Amino acid sequence: MDLALFQRQYRKDLTDQSKNTLAGSLWLLIEPAIMLLVYSFVFSVIFTARAGSGHDSPFIVYLAVMMWPWFAFSQALSRSLSVLDENMGLMRKMALDKHALVAARVCSVFTLQSLAYLLVLLVLLVLTGGVDFTRIWIVLLSVLQLLLAALGLAYLFSALAVFVRDIKLAMPMLIMLMFFCSPIIWTVEMIPQQYRHLLDYNPLTHVATAVRGALLQGETLLSGGWWWNWLLAAVLLLLGWWVFSRLAPWFEEYA
């Protein structure tokens, strides 16, 4: 991969989003913070949901620790779909390494969201004292899982979307579906017993369990599924890279 292009594109993506906006980089926090407030109001006040067993932290904390990893993952997916279109002008005039464009987009989204995540965790620590940093490495590894998977999916879908436009329209729906199918805003305990085993098939469940276990319960809850996630991420990455490499030389004529 073209590292010079990656660096340059990465730097540009980091600053581009907030360029020429009044609130600047605050936007990074505004949207998730508002969603966090809305969800926690709806769930803890209206539905009177409580964090599941073993969690004595307020629901908003339970929500927040998984919200930002999810934001990183989902935004990397949705924003990587447009990266080829954005640079099409360039691609039509110059031979360049298109892998670097997608990788830079995914990495920049994860960088920004990780920074916001860290900030939120620190605020929660100060406000509630219920955040345990001793097992932060589990959180880092879990986010890395998400990053690798997102990168693989970004390669895959951004390449496919050049040929099959429907993907761009379907992606927001898929992301929403995935959001509601994962224990991010709800707890495993809310699911009827007979359906709970289905959750094991969602890789995000294992990420959520590991992250919450580390940050909120101070425990190392690495399920078998969490370990399998590494394999899944590797497979996605290889598949995405392969498909992208195959299709990349033809983007210019089908875009």
Partner 1 sequence: MSALLLRAENLGKSYPAIGHAGGRLRAMLQILAGRALASGSGVQVLRDVNLSVHAGQSIGIIGENGAGKSTLLKLFSGVIMPSSGSIERHGSMAALIELSAGFDQELSGMDNIFLKTALMGMSRRQTRQHLDAIIEFADIGDALWQPVKTYSSGMVVRLGFAIVAIQNPQLLMTDEVLAVGDESFQRKCIAWLDNYLAHGGTLLMVSHSTYQIKRLCPQTIWIHDHKVAMQGDSDRVINAYLDWHAEKQRQNEQPAQRAMNPEHYQVLSMQLLDARQQVVQEIRSGQALSIEMRLSTPDGRQPVAGFGIIDRGGLPVYGVASSNVANAGEQLSEQEWRYRVEFADLPLLPGSYTVRSHVLDPEGLRVCDSLETRLAVTGSTLELGSVRLQHKWQ
The binding site for partner 1 (CB under 8 A) comprises 2, 4-5, 7-8, 89-96, 160, 163-166, 243, 246-247, 249-250, 252-254
The nearest distance, CB 2 to partner 1, in angstroms, is: 7
Cβ closest to partner 1, residue 20 vs residue 53? 20
Cβ closest to partner 1, residue 101 vs residue 109? 101
Cβ closest to partner 1, residue 8 vs residue 196? 8
Residue 80 CA to residue 154 CA, distance in Å, equals: 6
- The position carrying tokens 């359906």 is 195
The nearest distance, CB 114 to partner 1, in angstroms, is: 24
Q: Answer yes or no: are the C-beta atoms of 133 and 222 closer than 8 Å.
A: no
Residue 205 CA to residue 216 CA, distance in Å, equals: 16
- The position carrying tokens 């916001």 is 116
Cβ closest to partner 1, residue 3 vs residue 118? 3
Cβ closest to partner 1, residue 219 vs residue 252? 252
Cβ closest to partner 1, residue 12 vs residue 196? 12
Residue 31 CA to residue 18 CA, distance in Å, equals: 13
The nearest distance, CB 208 to partner 1, in angstroms, is: 34
CB atoms within 10 A of CB 2: 15
The nearest distance, CB 238 to partner 1, in angstroms, is: 14
CB atoms within 10 A of CB 220: 11
- DSSP 3-state of 50: coil
Cβ closest to partner 1, residue 16 vs residue 200? 16
Q: Which ranges of the chain would DSSP assign to H, the alpha helix?
A: 3-16, 27-40, 59-80, 83-86, 88-91, 98-128, 136-163, 166-181, 203-212, 224-247, 251-254
Closest C-alpha among 237, 207, 172, 189 to residue 68: 207
Q: Answer yes or no: are the C-beta atoms of 113 and 72 closer than 8 Å.
A: yes
Q: Answer yes or no: are the C-beta atoms of 245 and 156 closer than 8 Å.
A: no
The nearest distance, CB 237 to partner 1, in angstroms, is: 17
The nearest distance, CB 4 to partner 1, in angstroms, is: 5
The nearest distance, CB 106 to partner 1, in angstroms, is: 19
